[in-house]
Amino acid sequence: MSVSIGIHDLSFATGEFVLSHAALAEHNGTDLGKYHVGIGQQSMSVPAADEDIVTMGAAAAAPIIARHGKSQIRTVVFATESSIDQAKAAGVYVHSLLGLQSACRVVELKQACYGATAALQFALGLVRRDPTQQVLVVASDVSKYELDSPGEATQGAAAVAMLVGADPALLRIEEPSGLFTADVMDFWRPNYREAALVDGQESITAYLQAVEGAWKDYTEQNGRPLEEFAAFVYHQPFTKMAYKAHRHLLNFCGHDTDADAIGRALGQTTAYNAVIGNSYTASVYLALAALLDQADDLAGRALALLSYGSGSVAEFFSGTVVAGYREQLRTEANRAAITRRTPVDYAGYRALHERAFPSDGGDHYTPAQTTGPFRLAGISGHKRVYEAR
Ligand code: CAA
């Protein structure tokens, strides 16, 4: 009999500050309806000066370690597209902040927003090889576009940590996966840039083509029929994108695109992304958390997940919700991660956006702003210095 493997626990963290789209609209004169209705966003998380992908990733993972211990974790996979170093994996800092055992492999993965799904799939393979081991997957990103660009309204920041193991308590991940890769320049960030470059409309088209391609492969691999899914969990650069994607999939399959039915299929997946903004690799797993936290009992039901990373790679796969999953949820902590953020005005956000460490190799300290469990104290001799608070 094959072992059941999947997501045993899931926890997330986000930035210290929040910028409302109302404040952004007031600054740039945009009709607020474009943000609230047109792209489906209310606000976006803004990291403090002493937060980054490492501090958020460690903050997301710490409650998982507190609940399950460290002894079975022999692999940490850190997925990000807002990497802080070209060589060293950000996960090594997380490993250190969490005090994980030295008998552990740590690696960083990249393929735009798809990276966390690659990490999850690799983790499933490792656990299949040795079901006594667990893999800690951390997906952490700060989404940053140019100030005053169309992409500015689709920024955000968050980290999701997932413990992957045998006999999971939340979601059993199933085979097959539907896969799709196409070489497109819809969104990218050359090594010398802080902010991403994007062709907005091209990126939406590329996403929709990837949904279609991944679904086509999923059906060719004898996946479940569309009707079997209780809900559809999409990567959400902005929440309206999930609606566009699902309508596209239904059209492609020759189904009705009734707005109420689409709302039922994915409405409960958007609550966290609508107020956190784009968190790149973490986004689809924040959508999963929002669904599990809000839905009536999903035990035994199949969920569809669609992961998309610009450039582009997509994967359509499914999972079955495990009986008793609700006892494992972190609903209160998840809501607190959102409500604890401090509102920042447009000027404050802009100053944080423009902040960068000098590259002179000197000692540069960051102001103490975060109220999270870990902080980036500064940079010294080109080395990032982290500390627990
Ligand atoms: N009231 C209601 N709706 C309004 C409105 C108003 N007053 N004004 C405009 N709208 C609607 C528009 O009709 C449009 O809706 P539809 O797409 O359904 O037609 C929507 O608001 C957005 O309007 P525009 O297309 O004119 O907006 P824009 O040119 O400013 O660009 C964007 C929007 C392309 C998403 C831009 O914010 C962007 O480039 N974002 C970054 C790229 C991105 O997120 N791409 C998504 C796919 S790529 C991906 O998924 C990977 C990733 O994470 C980056």
Question: At residue 277, what is the residue type?
Answer: G
Q: 13: Cβ below 6 Å to ligand 1?
A: no
Domain limit, last residue, from 323, 343, 364: 323
CA of 94 to the centre of ligand 1 (A): 34
Region 162-187 average pLDDT: 98
Q: How far is CA 142 from the centre of its chain?
A: 10
- 12 and 155 in a single domain? The answer is yes
- 365 and 243 in a single domain? The answer is no
When mean pLDDT is compared across 167-176, 189-198, 377-386, the lowest value belongs to 189-198
Which residues does the annotation mark as catalytic?
81, 113, 235
Give the closest residue (by CA) to ligand 1 atom 15. Answer: 38
Region 213-242 average pLDDT: 98
Among 42, 111, 154, the mutation site with the greatest number of ligand 1 atoms within 8 A of its Cβ is 154
Among 24, 32, 34, the mutation site with the greatest number of ligand 1 atoms within 8 A of its Cβ is 34
Domain limit, last residue, from 323, 343, 370: 323
User: What six digits make up the tokens of 80?
Assistant: 């990000």
Q: Which helix (H) or strand (E) holds 60?
A: helix 53-68
Averaged pLDDT score across all residues of the chain? 97
- 220 and 315 in a single domain? The answer is yes
Condensed to tens digits (0 to 9), the pLDDT of residues 246-255 reads 999 999 999 9
Q: 285: Cβ below 6 Å to ligand 1?
A: no
Provide the b/e sequence for 176-193 (b: ≥16 CB within 10 Å).
bbbbbbeebebbebeeee
Instruction: Report phi then psi at 176, rounded to 5.
Output: -90, 180
Q: Range of 59's domain?
A: 5-172+329-388
CA of 345 to the centre of ligand 1 (A): 23
Domain limit, last residue, from 266, 301, 323: 323
How many Å apart are CA 232 and CA 253, to the nearest integer? Answer: 15
- 251 and 333 in a single domain? The answer is no
Condensed to tens digits (0 to 9), the pLDDT of residues 25-70 reads 999 999 999 999 999 999 999 999 999 999 999 999 999 999 999 9
- 197 and 337 in a single domain? The answer is no
- 10 and 145 in a single domain? The answer is yes
CA of 54 to the centre of ligand 1 (A): 29
CA of 38 to the centre of ligand 1 (A): 7
- Phi-psi category of 344—alpha, beta or left, where left has phi over 0 and alpha has psi -120 to 50? beta
Q: 37: Cβ below 6 Å to ligand 1?
A: yes
- 56 and 192 in a single domain? The answer is no
Question: At residue 165, what is the residue type?
Answer: G
CA of 39 to the centre of ligand 1 (A): 5
Residue 1 has pLDDT above 60, yes or no: no
Please give the model's pTM, rounded to 2 decimal places: 0.98
- 207 and 311 in a single domain? The answer is yes
CA proximity to 154, closest of 83, 282, 241, 270: 241
The number of domains in the chain is 2
CATH code for position 367: 3.40.47.10
Q: What is the per-residue pLDDT for 2?
A: 73
Give the closest residue (by CA) to ligand 1 atom 11. Answer: 38
Q: 237: Cβ below 6 Å to ligand 1?
A: yes
Condensed to tens digits (0 to 9), the pLDDT of residues 320-370 reads 999 999 999 999 999 999 999 999 999 999 999 999 999 999 999 999 999
- 76 and 122 in a single domain? The answer is yes
Q: 34: Cβ below 6 Å to ligand 1?
A: yes
- 309 and 346 in a single domain? The answer is no
How many Å apart are CA 61 and CA 219, to the nearest integer? Answer: 35
In this structure, the chain runs to a length of 389
For residue 294, what are the contacts with CB-CB under 8 A and spacing of at least 6? 268, 271
- 135 and 114 in a single domain? The answer is yes
Handedness of CA 170, 173, 178, 180 (dihedral sign): positive
Q: What is the per-residue pLDDT for 3?
A: 87
CA of 109 to the centre of ligand 1 (A): 28
Q: 203: Cβ below 6 Å to ligand 1?
A: yes
Give the closest residue (by CA) to ligand 1 atom 21. Answer: 38
Q: 241: Cβ below 6 Å to ligand 1?
A: yes
- 134 and 182 in a single domain? The answer is no
Q: How far is CA 290 from the centre of its chain?
A: 12
Residue 84 has pLDDT above 80, yes or no: yes
